[in-house]
Structure formats: structure tokens, C-alpha cells
Amino acid sequence: MKENINDTGDVSLDVGDILSGYPVGWWHHSLMDVSSELLDSCSVVEFAGETDEKMSDDGEQKEDPRCSDQKDAQSVSLQAISENAVSFSALFVPMEAETPSTSAAVVTIQEKDAKKPKAATTDDDVKPIFIPSAKELGETFDSMKGFFTGKETEDNWNRRQESVNIIRGMILTDVHVSFKKEFYGELKGGMLELTLSALSSLRTTLASKAAALYSELAVAMGVSFDQALVGIVLPPLLNMGGSTKNIVATKTQGTVLDILEHGSYQSGYVVNLLTTCYTGEKSVKKRIYALSHMEAVLRVHCSE
């Protein structure tokens, strides 16, 4: 801190030097602390020229009149510095700090988004597929159907996986909304049933991607994923619950839950299917999954 004494004996304090002595978070300090430091610094000022104290005739110490005037000037300077400190504290508000109203708004938006069903995939292999017309949509499906016919080989398994990802990419760009009738017709007309060969693959990755396709279709299409489509994929998915591969079993039964929660189907059909799966199966895993799925049906259709 710099103290400048002019010709008249007045003391001027450099506010910039005072404030620069504090760390970045100085505005959190009490202004009383700043004021105290300034008073301490002012109390040790020595005036040029004559001495600041004089002795009275009776031996008592008498204050120089200039000291009284100087203290008044210091008080005025101190008040000005305090006001500057307040204005500086308003400028150095941390950028990451959020006002209560902003934070509340963010939380509200996040809560609303969390309630919305999301069909978006986190699979890096799935890229958005844009279809400009219904004609091209039909041509795209026709070009993929040949890969799912016959037995799985070293030549066609990768093509099957790519085809599954293409359909998932269509979901990302809302093709099922833009061409709702055509998209549903392609699935019901044979494409969905053909993809079951990918679901039954011995390759864990391919089977998992097929299960992910059915989950994303059910979530994205909602009630449009109706009894006709549910009847195609649900029985094979339930059968996969007894798979010796835990990854496949977990993913396929998770897909069943997505279909039961988001799809549209006849509850009697599903209940009969699950009952048969429970009573007619020796596999403990299948029976446990069947009970879990029955609970999901009750939760969705009997919650009220």
C-alpha cells in the first residue's frame, strides 16, 4: 500500500494497491477487516516538517491541529475506499455461481426430461440415418432383407449387424414419425421377423444389438408398437431368458420390460404367455424372469 504525502500534509491512499494485496476471493472478506487495516496504516503516518505533537505549558501533551484535520481527511478517504470495495465486490462475482432462480429452472427442466421416454442409443456404432422419401425407405429395407435369410455365416453376420444398426439409426432421425405408415408396414411385412435371426445368433454382440433394436422400437413407437409386432418378438425374447450367456439373458429380458412398459398389446395374451413360461419351464432363470415380467404387467395396467 502506498501512502503519498503532498505539500499540504494531506495523505492520499492508492486504492488499487490496497485491493491488489488481497487474493482472488478477497470480496468474501468483511469490509470491517479492510477498514481496520486502513486505520492501522493511517495511524503510523509521519508528517514532513515540524513534529506532530507539542507540549502545553502545564506539561500535558497537546495534539497538533493538523492531526485533527488529517484524521477527518482519513475518515473521508476510508469511506470512499469502502464504497469502492463494495462496487468491486459486485464486479468479481464468480462466473460459475448460479442464482437460485436459475438453479431451480435447471432442476425443473432435468426432472421433466427424465420423465420423457428416450429411444436414443448410446451405441457408438449407430449413426443417424436420414431417409428423404417413402420410396427410398422401401428400397433401404429391401436391400437389407437378403442378409437375414439362410444360416448365419462369416460372410453375412457383419451385414446383419450393420442392417440392425441402420434401423436403429432411422429411429434417431425420427423416420418412424416422418413415414409412420410405411415404417410400420415394413416391420409388420417381414423385416422385424427377419431380424430374429440376429437375436438367436451365437455372437453375443449381434444378439445384444438385436435386443437393443427391439427396446428402442418399443420406446420410440409407443402404442404403435402394437400386438402384431409384440407377438413377433416377445416369445423369442422370453425364451432367451434361459441363455447360458448372462449378458444376452440380461439384455433380452430388459428388452421384454421395455416392451411391456411402452408397447401396446392385449394383456390377456401376455399374461397367458408369462404363465406358460413360468409353469411349463424347468429353467429357474426363466421362471424368475417370468415373475418379474408379470409384476411389470401389473404395475403398468393395474396401477390405478
Element (H, E) at 13: strand 11-13
Contact 184, 215 (CB under 8 A): no
Please give the DSSP secondary-structure letter assigned to residue 95: T
Element (H, E) at 12: strand 11-13
Give residue 56's region: left, alpha or beta (phi > 0; psi -120 to 50).
beta
Question: And the C-alpha cell for 224?
Answer: 404403435
Among the residues of the chain, which ranges form H helices? 15-20, 31-43, 65-91, 100-115, 134-145, 157-172, 175-178, 180-186, 192-194, 196-199, 204-221, 227-239, 246-262, 267-279, 284-301
- Number of Cβ within 10 Å of residue 2's Cβ equals 9
In a structure prediction context, what are the per-residue pLDDT tens digits for the chain, which is 304 residues long?
Answer: 444 555 555 545 454 555 455 554 444 444 445 445 544 544 444 434 444 444 445 555 555 555 455 555 555 454 554 454 444 444 444 444 343 343 333 333 333 334 445 555 667 789 999 999 999 999 999 999 999 999 999 989 999 999 999 999 999 999 999 999 999 999 999 999 999 999 999 999 999 999 999 999 999 999 999 999 999 999 999 999 999 999 999 999 999 999 999 999 988 899 899 998 888 888 899 999 999 999 999 888 876 5
CA-to-CA distance for 186 and 169, rounded, in angstroms?
A: 16
Q: Which residues contact 251 (CB under 8 A, 6 or more apart)?
A: 207, 208, 211, 212
- Number of Cβ within 10 Å of residue 99's Cβ equals 8
Nearest alpha carbon to residue 213 among 223, 203, 225: 225
